[in-house]
Structure formats: structure tokens, C-alpha cells
Structure 1
Amino acid sequence: MKNKPEIFSHTFNLPYSALTIGGRVKMDWLLNVFQDVASTQCHYQKVSGFDMAEKGLKWVVAQYRIQIHKSIDWMTPVMVQTWRAPWKNLYEVRQFRVLENIDLEHTTRDPKPLVTASSIWILIKATNNRPVRLMPNMPPSLMTCPRQEPVELIKPPAGLTRIDHECSFPVHFLDLDLNEHVNNRVYVRWAQESLPGTLNFEYTPVTCDIIYQKEALPQDTVQSRVSMNFKNDLLFTDHVIARQSSAENLASLMFTWKRTDTKSLFHTKK
């Protein structure tokens, strides 16, 4: 796919900090990258979080749907692309794609995506956290971009059918972002850390659906609960992140994991 003006691209080599045991890409690192490239494009379009803060508004993410199609090795040249479109003046649909970085201007083949993701972003009023319409608050040029089909809204499960494991996490200062609540990537970490025993060593996530429902705030403690279902070499997990003090659900997450036999080059047997 040739680059288009409405597509923002950023290129780099996959860094060491992106990898966990066995050279697997960290899911929460992907969310950081997505947020960074989206924020950079928004900066150039004059609709960044800083621009909206001057109007008393905030961008909040409502959901993510992420699929890892292929593992990425350290120092692989990659290109992260993002593009956005309004949907019926209600919210922004933003797409992401991670590609191996080849010369798109001098090749006839389209590189296959390594990672794809879609997300929904809502503009809210800072004083009461209520959604506002896009049109009065966005440049007219951003409301007339090519029509985009809506992302399928992810429906949160009615509740976990059972709880196979749970643990609690305090909100730390470094979990917070400029909106003074827990950053969206942290919920993924809380969910992954709730897997019992050695499952995080034995399985790697390949899909992740996230629905953000309420904000975790400074001094909160959250309860992370997981229900697990094994099928052949796959593991399916449903997660609920809840505020411990009030039992409010803050986020729901659904993962698909595949068994991995990747062994770390740095592991030394004792």
C-alpha cells in the first residue's frame, strides 16, 4: 500500500526495551507506540491532547482491538502507520499498522502487516467527563476526510463465568498520564500479570481486545481477575479490572494466547 497524506508514518528499529522473555514484543509497549504516533499526528493537525486541554477537553480511548500477526526480532526495521477518521460526529476511529520497513516508493509488493490495531477515541469535557460532539471542536478539514467504516464495537462480557485467579495492584505515580489517571497501557500489564504460575512464560499473546469503562485514579488499588480456557495450543482469557474500594469495573480485556517454545538466549541453567 502506497503512503497517503492522511496516513502518518514513523520508522525505527525494534528496540531492546520492546522485548520480554524469549524476544517477544510486549503488548503494553505496542500501546505506548500507538499513543505516541497518534499524538504526533494530532500535534501536526492541531488536535493533540495539549491543544484540546486549552479548550477544556480531553481525548480518552474507549477500546482497542490488537492482533499480532508475526513475531518481530530485535533491531528489525519497522514502520508504524496510523490514520483516523470521524464517525458520525460522535468519535474518532483510529487505525494502526506495524510493517517491516521496506521502500514503499520503489516496490510493487505490499508488505504484510506484523501488527494491526483499531481503536475508538472519544472527546470529553474535562469538568464532568461527558462526551462532546466532534464538529464544534475540530478543524473543518478533519471532519471532511474520506468516509471510513466504523470499527465494530467490542461488547464487554456480562461478567466472568468463574474466577481462576486474581491479584491486586496499587496505582503507582508512574502509572499516571497527563490526564491524571492511569494510562491505557497499564491495564494490559495488570491483566497479563494476573496469569498464575508460569503461563506468561509458556504462552504469548496474539490478540487483545480492551474495553475501557472507568478511570483508575491516584491512590486506588485495583483487583485483576481472570477466567481461563485452554484449547489445544491456545489459551483464551477474559479479564476484569475493578476498583477494589467500590467494586466498579474499570476495564474488560480478552486475550488469545498461543503456546511458545521460544527459549531465551540469555538463560543459563543452574
Structure 2
Amino acid sequence: MKNNPDIFSQTFNLPYSALTIGGRLKMDWLLNVFQNAASTQCHAYGISGFDMAEKDLKWVVAQYRIQIHTPIDWMTPLVVQTWRAPWKNLYEVRQFRLMAEQDHRLETSSPLVTASSIWILIKAANNRPVRLAPNMPAALMKSPVQEPAELIKPDADLAHVDHECSFPVRFLDLDLNEHVNNRVYVRWAVESLPGRLNFEYTPVTCDVIYQKEALPGDTVQSRISMSFENDLLFTDHIIIRQSSKEKLAHLMLTWKKTGIRHLFHTKK
């Protein structure tokens, strides 16, 4: 790929902590990679969360759309790339791709993982969105995206509920904004799949809409509906605050049947 100064790149090896049973990639770990890359680029631009906090502002993510195209093995050398652009002074559209290091400069190479997201700037005092231009360097407002991000529009309610479970908000779920970090909602959705299915299927796509914040002291309830088609499982998730029944997030995942790979065997 041609060098583009607006694309931030960071090289690393796929760590052991990114893998779950059978050597599968953890979907929620990807959000950590994306957030870290975005935060590093924003820091260079002077618009990081810490920079915005000085203006009584916060960045919040409104949605993610993630697709895992190819399985990745432990210690694979990788490059995460991210780039951003404003949309009509309303929100930031931020794109991500995860590439094999040896392929990331090739025009014909295919990414291992792709993702798009929408980030909104809000006033910390009242959580109301604000316009970007008064709070961003002018240079960052000169190249708006030509098309808006594709908005995820799920059904208002689940067609049916096949399974549900509850999760307490734990201290380590919280981020600098003092609410549950966006990756945790994905973990809750994955964990709400009945155990036997998590052994048989692995997620390959994930759409998330964030609607309200889960806060310290909350218990959330994750409800899930499921449908099967050949070797695919489609799940629709609603996460609510248990005390008030407010909807916090809506997620839609596609899972592929892979079976379990036993990587380690006990020697007798």
C-alpha cells in the first residue's frame, strides 16, 4: 500500500492474551487494539481523550462494525492501521485494518481484520453532543469523508429470547470516562452464548450500537436470540441495565462453526 501520512500504523506480534480456547481470536481484544491505535494517533493530533478532557469534552464511540476475514496464529507479526475523517462537523468516522506485516505495503494484499466506527464528541457536564469544528484543529476538518458511515439499524426488540444471563459491572470494566469500556459489551455478548455453542462456533463479524452507559454498581442483563444456517450461527443481543430496564447496547454477531482444536495435551 502506498504511504499515506493520514494513516497511522503500529507493528506488533499477536500476543498469547489475544487467544481463547483452540487458539481463536478474542473479538473483544480487537477493540483494545483499535482503541489504542486511535488514541495514539489522536495524541499526535492533540485531540486525545486527555486533550479533550481539558476542554470538558469526551470522545464516545457510537458504533463498531468488525469483520474477521482470516484466522491469525499466535506470534504472527501484524500491523494495525487506522485513519479518521469528520463527517459534516457531526462525528468522526474512523476506519481500522489489521494486516500481516509482510503484506501491509502491497497494493494487492487483503486485510486479516477490518472495522469501521463512529466517534462523537460530547460535553462532559451533560453528555450532549457538540460540533467538531470549534473543538478541533482546523487542519483536521479540511478533508471530510465523501460518504457517511453506514449506520447500523437493528430491530427495536429481539424476535425471541433464547438465552439470558446477568453480569455485574466490575472495577476493571471501567475506563477513564468512569463508565464501562466499549470492549466489555462485546465480551458480555460473547459470554452470553450458551457454553456448548462457544466451543463449537467462533465469531467472525460483530456489529455494535452503543446507546447508554453502564456505570459502577450496575448489573446488566444480556438477552440473546439465535438462528442457524448451514455452518453459521446468527445472534442478536440486547444488553439492558437490570434495575431500570434501559437498553444499553444492541449487538449482532455472525459465528462460524469450527469445532474445538485441542492445542495442548497432557502427557501421561
Q: Is TM (by shorter chain) over 0.5?
A: yes
1:209 aligned to 183, 207, 215, which one? 207
Q: Which residue of 2 aligns with 1:20?
A: 20
Instruction: Tell me the CA shift for residue 95 of structure 1.
Output: 0.1
Return the offset for 1:261.
2.7
What is aligned with 2:194? 196
1:109 deviates by 4.4
| Alignment partners' CA distance in 2, 1:59 and 1:134 | 11
What TM-score, normalized to structure 2? 0.97
Say which of 126, 142, 145 aligns to 1:144.
142
List structure 1 segments (4+ residues) > 6 angstroms apart after TM superposition: none
**Once the two structures are superposed, what CA deviation does each residue of 1:71-129 show, in whole Å capped at 9, x if it has no partner?**
00001111000000000000000000000002656xx5432100000000000000000
Deviation at 1:265, TM superposition (A): 1.1
Residue 40 (structure 1) aligns with:
40
Count of residues in correspondence between the two structures:
268
Q: 1:44 to 1:160 in 2, by over 3 A?
A: same
Query: What's the secondary structure of 1:121's corresponding residue?
Result: strand
- Corresponding position: 1:80 with 2:80: yes
Over the residues paired in the alignment, what is the CA RMSD in angstroms? Answer: 1.4
Deviation at 1:264, TM superposition (A): 2.4
State the alpha-carbon separation in 2 of the partners of residues 151 and 198 from structure 1: 36
Local SS of the residue matching 2:112? strand
In 2, distance between residues paired with 1:100 and 1:23? Answer: 17
Of the three residues 104, 110, 113, the one matched with 2:111 is 113
TM-score, normalization by structure 1: 0.96
Aligned 1:52-201 pairs, distance under 5 A: 52-102=52-102, 109-145=107-143, 147-201=145-199
Residues 62, 118 of structure 2: 8 Å contact kept:
yes
State the 1:147 CA deviation: 3.3
SS in 2 for 1:186: helix
Partner-residue secondary structure (3-state), 1:11: strand
Distance 2:167 2:27 in 1: 18
Contact 2:57 2:124 in 1 (8 A): yes
How far off is 1:3 after superposition? 2.5
Percent of aligned pairs with the same amino acid: 78
Distance verdict in 2 for CA 1:91–1:69, change over 3 Å: same
